[in-house]
Structure 1
Amino acid sequence: MRAPITMKGALRLRAELEELKSVKRPAVINAIAEARAHGDLKENAEYHAAREQQGFIEGRIKQLEAELSHAQVIDVSSLNAGSRVVFGATVELVDVDTDESKTYQIVGDLEADIKQGWIAISSPVARALIGKHEGDAITIEAPGGTREYEIVAVRYLG
C-alpha cells in the first residue's frame, strides 16, 4: 500500500532532499577532505565528526528517496468530504472539560510534526478522528488520562 502524503508535505520533503544532495552532501565531502589533509586520522576529531555527519546525511537521503518514491501525493484542497474527517483534514477540537482549543491537520507519517500541528494518520488522535463529523465527540486515551473533545470545525485547506 502506498503511504499518503499531502502535496505541501511532498514539496517540503523534496526541498529537503534537494538541499541534502546539492548543499549538505558537498559540504560534508569538503569537510572530510579538509580533515584528511590534517594528517593522522585516528586522532582527528574533525574527520570522525564529518564522517558521522556524512552517514546521517546519506541515511536521510535514502529514507526520503524511498518514502517519496512510494508515497501517494494527495491534493487536500481537491478533497470534498464536507464535514467528515478524512486524510488531509484540518480539524479544530475543543476539550470538553477545559474548553481548550486545538487544531490539527492529519498528514502522512513522514511529514508529521506536532509542533506545527501536523499529526500522523497512524497516530491515536488521527485514528479517533477519521470518519467522524463536525459536532461529534471523541474520546482519546492520553498519558494523563482519558480526554474528551468535540469536533468544532473540519476544513480542507490544501
Structure 2
Amino acid sequence: MSDLEGQQLTAAQRAALDAELADMEGPQRKAAVDAIATARAFGDLSENFEYHAAKNEQGLLEARITRLQHKLQHAVIVEHTSTDSVGVGSIVEIEDEQGERMEIEISSVGGVSPTSPLGGALMGAAVGEGVDVPAPRGSWRATVVSIRAA
C-alpha cells in the first residue's frame, strides 16, 4: 500500500486533516499570494531573492495541499473502539525489555503508523501479549500494558 492510498483513519483523524486542509487552502494560500505580491513590488524579479523564495514556498504549499487532498480522497474510515486488541485509533501503553514504558497512538496521522514496524507488530495484540518489533539493529520485544480507544 502506498503512503497516500488507502490509509486507515478514524473519524477524528479525518476531521483534523479536513481542518488542516481548510487552513492551507484558505489563510495559508492567501498569505503565500500576499508574500509574492509584496516581493514583486521590490523590483527586478531576476535578482529578487524574496520573490523566488515566496514562489518556492507557494509551490511547496500547493504540493502539500495536493498530497493532503489525495490522502483524504483515498482514506478508509475505521472506528476501532475495542480495548481487547490494538487497532487504528488505539492508544497503547507498551513496556520494553528494560522495563521502560511508552504510550503511543496507532494512527496514520500524528502517531505510529499501523504499517510501521512498531505499529504492524502491535496491530491485533492484546493486553499482556508480547510482540517482536523488527529494527535495523535486530528486533526488540514489547509487551502491551494497556489499550484504550482514542
TM-score, length basis structure 1: 0.84
Which amino acid in structure 2 is aligned with residue 67 of structure 1? K
Once the 2 structures are TM-superposed, how far is the Cα of residue 44 of structure 1 from its aligned partner?
0.2
Q: Whole-Å Cα distance in 2 between the matches of residues 88 and 3 of structure 1?
A: 12
- Higher strand fraction: Structure 1 or Structure 2? 1
**After the TM superposition, which parts of structure 1 deviate over 6 Å for at least 4 consecutive aligned residues?**
none
Which of these residues, 45, 56, 77, is aligned with residue 41 of structure 1? Answer: 45
Name the counterpart of 2:59.
55
Q: Whole-Å Cα distance in 2 between the matches of residues 15 and 87 of structure 1?
A: 20
Q: Deviations over 1:24-73 (max 9, x none)?
A: 11111111112112221010001000000000111111111111111122
The answer as to 2:131 corresponding to 1:138 is: yes
Name the counterpart of 1:155.
148
Paired residues of 1:83 and 1:153 also in contact (CA < 8 A) = no
Q: Whole-Å Cα distance in 2 between the matches of residues 41 and 60 of structure 1?
A: 25
Name the counterpart of 1:127.
120
Q: CA RMSD in A?
A: 1.6
| Runs of at least 5 residues in structure 1 that lack an aligned partner in the other structure | none
Alignment map for 1:9-158 (pairs within 5 Å): 9-76=13-80, 79-80=81-82, 82-96=83-97, 98-108=98-108, 111=109, 113=110, 118-157=111-150
Identity level (%): 34
Once the 2 structures are TM-superposed, how far is the Cα of residue 144 of structure 1 from its aligned partner?
4.4
TM-score, length basis structure 2: 0.88
Q: Whole-Å Cα distance in 2 between the matches of residues 24 and 131 of structure 1?
A: 39
Q: Whole-Å Cα distance in 1 between the matches of residues 26 and 88 of structure 2?
A: 32
Paired residues of 1:85 and 1:131 also in contact (CA < 8 A) = yes
Size of the alignment, in residue pairs?
146
